[in-house]
Amino acid sequence: MSSYSPIGPVVGIVGAGQLARMSQPPAIALGVELRVLANNPEESAARVIVDTRIGDYRDLGDLREFAKGCDVITFDHEHVPTDHIRALAANGYVVHPGADALVHAQDKAVMRERLTRIGAPCPAWARVSSADDVASFAAEHGWPVVLKAVRGGYDGRGVWVCRTPDEVAEAFATGVELMAEAFVPFDRELAVLVARSPHGQGVSYPVVETVQENGICVEVIAPAPGLDQEQSAQAQRIALTVANELGVTGLLAVELFQSERGLVVNELAMRPHNSGHWTIEGATTSQFEQHLRAVLDLPLGTPRMTAQHVVMANLLGGDDPDLFKRYEHVMAHDPGIKLHFYGKEVRPGRKIGHVTALGSNLDEVRARARHAAVYLMTGEYT
Amino acid sequence: MSSYSPIGPVVGIVGAGQLARMSQPPAIALGVELRVLANNPEESAARVIVDTRIGDYRDLGDLREFAKGCDVITFDHEHVPTDHIRALAANGYVVHPGADALVHAQDKAVMRERLTRIGAPCPAWARVSSADDVASFAAEHGWPVVLKAVRGGYDGRGVWVCRTPDEVAEAFATGVELMAEAFVPFDRELAVLVARSPHGQGVSYPVVETVQENGICVEVIAPAPGLDQEQSAQAQRIALTVANELGVTGLLAVELFQSERGLVVNELAMRPHNSGHWTIEGATTSQFEQHLRAVLDLPLGTPRMTAQHVVMANLLGGDDPDLFKRYEHVMAHDPGIKLHFYGKEVRPGRKIGHVTALGSNLDEVRARARHAAVYLMTGEYT
């Protein structure tokens, strides 16, 4: 560490969305200088990070220019081409997570192959290149069949739950590379967030329940209510094993289905994750601080919860562009509610912020988070 | 609030030290845009706030230019000339705290006159303009006599505890305007932090003990150990009364002596204060968020503590400019310790950061904070 200036190391984040934005508070505390690669200066993180560079994350020249002077490079999203990441590493830049790990969060087929090999629980799956392939898959595993874009999907985009061959045709009409997965009739969705540092230290946050609507997470409950200790330990073991086997450096979020046949891995992400926003106030070390510590190969912080129950509710944009005017009510109504706005223009359905409530009575905590979120989004009093 | 953009209001902070810097994390969360007036782009807050303007806070023209487009103006320090603040208000800018309140944190004689009038407990005091005045004061109140610069002192500077007429002569040799106070033989020092919003809502944080060395605060213990409930309530009442009587908007820190004759007010500050840094992790609403809420006239957040005991220890610069290299040890030693660096070049005696420990055993919590602070400052293992 002795090569850093008195001001601390420079961490470059490719992408300037809300995850980069929410990394700035712990960076400020730790004396770590953030640099972001943004598409434009109006982006969420660009508004709050002085060293903002404008460029295209798909352009290797832009990435190389951005990387100069960074002590570590990491990511706000998974969309940087894997080969560009390899090229940066070949140029001697330190990149966390590295390409060999990150590809598993970029390519769902590569992820399924690897998870299957290491024995992590997966749904039945197959690469498919035609409606006939899907029909064969369905003959074996039944309908519905879940078709997924192998690369580039997020927040429910790039996922088609097909109940008929016609719906399959629709998915193929998009022209993107697809894979098929058996539909998992799940009871609920869970997520586990773990951190792993380059020298191999790992920690796991408590398992949470994530509540989705239309493929978008709307609520996260920490810890997952009523989850038995054995299944909780199993979920954490799966995530730590995946992080270790894949050589993840930084954060890994594992989304799981809880089903009759047990836990099944749904998706992976290798960065701070929406299912971990509750940690900003709800854990001694937030996921954003943890990611910085991990990519800088510093000792990890304790993931201990600061309250018995923590509930986060996402704020999705509606018709009204001016949510700030509703602060007065929610703050007066609940002096303990924590508000987070991402500095993004409001567009319908867009994640523009979140709220977090903490306390010892779960029903109350959920009601507080819901009240604040609904009021901020709609002006309706629940 | 409906006039604000979707991005939220702009709060202009005059001064770019660590208080402005630590205001950025809650501003990011609330979607409030900060603007700072800095002396140079290397200052603590200028490193982490995009909208940094360079200028001189003693120049009314610079202040007017800075104020354009700010929804509210507030301060990182008390050194802006009172008349300039009046001029800004006369130009229609919203300034919190206003000049009529802030003058009591700028001018210690004005403060003593006002506190005496409203019945807040003060030491005996007098304006003095010569060594003879001091001799008369000492004849009535005894030695030592505490001489204070009426304006401009901080962190022990501008304070002379005089035990002889010779020491009095030294203080007068500086040429600054002085006042005399009777020395208070105190048991310990306490501080209370309250917030008051323009519409009159007030909240008080728990009373803390502050431990000073050479006039500089080195440790803050929240809540003040062993303080009886009556004296705690009295301290909070004094601070809320002062805030109300003086029309403070934003934060007010009241430093108190706990002595045989009871509580005595020592100093006032009208901004986030070193005695409140523990609130970043130790209270549901940090002092920095609270100040933003207050100056924006939003409902105040709960000051409730997040742990039973919280201890903050300041980091003062020593001979070694590179403290970052010591992160590894302190983080590995204590995964729950919270580190705060101000992004300032290390100079001997300069406040360059602080650490905070939280827990249920006070002795342990103090030892953890001390260990981390001593190690970071000196590399010595305590």
In chain B, what residues touch A377 (CB-CB under 8 Å)? Answer: none
Instruction: Give the per-residue pLDDT at A96.
Output: 98
Instruction: Give the per-residue pLDDT at B2.
Output: 36
- Better-predicted residue by pLDDT, A346 or A316: A316
Structure tokens at B339: 């580190």
Give the rounded percent of residues in chain B with a pLDDT score beyond 70. Answer: 97
Residue from B1, B4, B7 to probe the interface with A (highest A Cβ count within 10 Å): B7
B182 annotated to bind ligand: yes
Is any Cβ of chain B less than 8 angstroms from the Cβ of A91? no
Instruction: Give per-residue pLDDT as tens, A49-66.
Output: 999 999 999 999 999 999
- As a whole number, the mean pLDDT across chain B is 95
Instruction: Give the per-residue pLDDT at A1.
Output: 36
Half-sphere exposure of residue A122, counting CA atoms within 13 Å on the CB side? 21
Instruction: Give the per-residue pLDDT at B325.
Output: 84
In this prediction, residues B138-161 reach a mean pLDDT of 89
- Within 356-375 of A, beta carbons closer than 8 Å to B belong to 358
Nearest to A28 among B48, B306, B345 (CB): B48
Nearest to A321 among B6, B281, B328 (CB): B6
Res. B322: pLDDT tops 90: no
Res. B5: pLDDT tops 60: no
Q: Where are the domains of chain B?
A: 10-95, 124-182, 186-378
Residue A381 distance to chain B (closest CA, Å): 18
Instruction: Give per-residue pLDDT as tens, A279-292.
Output: 999 999 999 999 99
Structure tokens at A98: 């590295």
Is any Cβ of chain A less than 8 angstroms from the Cβ of B342? yes
CATH number of this structure's domain B124-182: 3.30.1490.20
In this prediction, residues A248-252 reach a mean pLDDT of 98
Alpha helices in B265-361 (DSSP H): 279-282, 287-295, 327-333
Among 3.40.50.20, 1.20.120.330, 3.40.640.10, 3.40.50.300, what is the CATH number of B10-95? 3.40.50.20
| Number of residues that make up chain B | 382
Q: How confident is the model at residue A16 (pLDDT cuts 50, 70, 90)?
A: very high
Hey, are the CB atoms on B301 and A336 less than 8 Å from each other?
yes
In chain A, what residues touch B4 (CB-CB under 8 Å)? Answer: 322, 324-325
DSSP B136-188: HHHHHH-S-EEEEESBS-BTTBTEEEESSHHHHHHHHHT---EEEEE---EEE
In chain B, what residues touch A285 (CB-CB under 8 Å)? Answer: 335-336
Structure tokens at A365: 């905590």
B244 annotated to bind ligand: no
Res. A320: pLDDT tops 90: no
Q: What are the residues facing A263 on neighbouring strands?
A: A258
The contacts of residue A210 (CB under 8 Å, 6+ apart) are A189, A190, A191, A217, A219, A220, A255, A275
ipTM for the complex shown: 0.95
In this prediction, residues A83-97 reach a mean pLDDT of 98
Is A124-182's fold the same as A186-378's? no
Q: How far is CA A189 from CA A212, A268, B156, in A?
A: 8, 13, 57
- Within 221-280 of A, beta carbons closer than 8 Å to B belong to 280
Binding-site annotation: residue ranges of A: 108, 148, 181-184, 189, 266-267
Q: What are the residues facing B74 on neighbouring strands?
A: B13
Res. A6: pLDDT tops 60: no
Hey, are the CB atoms on A28 and B25 less than 8 Å from each other?
yes
In chain B, what residues touch A279 (CB-CB under 8 Å)? Answer: none
Instruction: Give the per-residue pLDDT at A5.
Output: 53
Task: State in words which class domain B186-378 has.
Answer: alpha beta
Res. B17: pLDDT tops 80: yes
- As a whole number, the mean pLDDT across chain A is 95
C-alpha–C-alpha distance, residues B246 and B9, integer Å: 26
In chain B, what residues touch A341 (CB-CB under 8 Å)? Answer: 8, 29-31
In chain A, what residues touch B353 (CB-CB under 8 Å)? Answer: 31
Res. B113: pLDDT tops 60: yes
Hey, are the CB atoms on B327 and A298 less than 8 Å from each other?
yes
In this prediction, residues B364-378 reach a mean pLDDT of 96
Instruction: Give per-residue pLDDT as tens, A334-359.
Output: 999 999 999 998 888 899 999 999 99
B50 annotated to bind ligand: no
C-alpha–C-alpha distance, residues B315 and B274, integer Å: 12
- Better-predicted residue by pLDDT, B376 or A322: B376
Give the rounded percent of residues in chain B with a pLDDT score beyond 90. Answer: 88
**Sign of the CA dihedral running A185, A186, A189, A195:** negative
Residue of B nearest to A9 (CA): B324
Q: How confident is the model at residue A204 (pLDDT cuts 50, 70, 90)?
A: very high
Instruction: Give per-residue pLDDT as tens, A112-129.
Output: 999 999 999 999 999 999
Instruction: Give the per-residue pLDDT at A4.
Output: 45
Instruction: Give the per-residue pLDDT at A215.
Output: 80
Instruction: Give the per-residue pLDDT at A307.
Output: 97
Contacts 24+ apart (CB under 8 A), B369-374: B369/B219, B369/B311, B369/B312, B369/B313, B369/B337, B370/B219, B370/B313, B371/B330, B371/B333, B371/B334, B372/B313, B372/B330, B372/B333, B372/B334, B372/B337, B372/B339, B373/B313, B373/B314, B373/B315
C-alpha–C-alpha distance, residues B182 and B136, integer Å: 12
Q: How confident is the model at residue B155 (pLDDT cuts 50, 70, 90)?
A: low
Q: How confident is the model at residue A3 (pLDDT cuts 50, 70, 90)?
A: very low
Helix (H) or strand (E) segment spanning residue A99: helix A99-106
∠B105-B109-B112 over CA atoms, to 5°?
80
Give the rounded percent of residues in chain A with a pLDDT score beyond 90. Answer: 88
Q: Look-up: residue for tokens 């701070």?
A: A272
Instruction: Give the per-residue pLDDT at A301.
Output: 98
Q: How confident is the model at residue B156 (pLDDT cuts 50, 70, 90)?
A: low
C-alpha–C-alpha distance, residues A153 and B355, integer Å: 41
Instruction: Give the per-residue pLDDT at B4.
Output: 45
Q: DSSP secondary-structure letter at A215? A: T
Q: What are the residues facing B305 on neighbouring strands?
A: B283
Closest by Cα among A286, A114, A108 to A193: A286
Q: How confident is the model at residue B6 (pLDDT cuts 50, 70, 90)?
A: low
C-alpha–C-alpha distance, residues B103 and B116, integer Å: 16
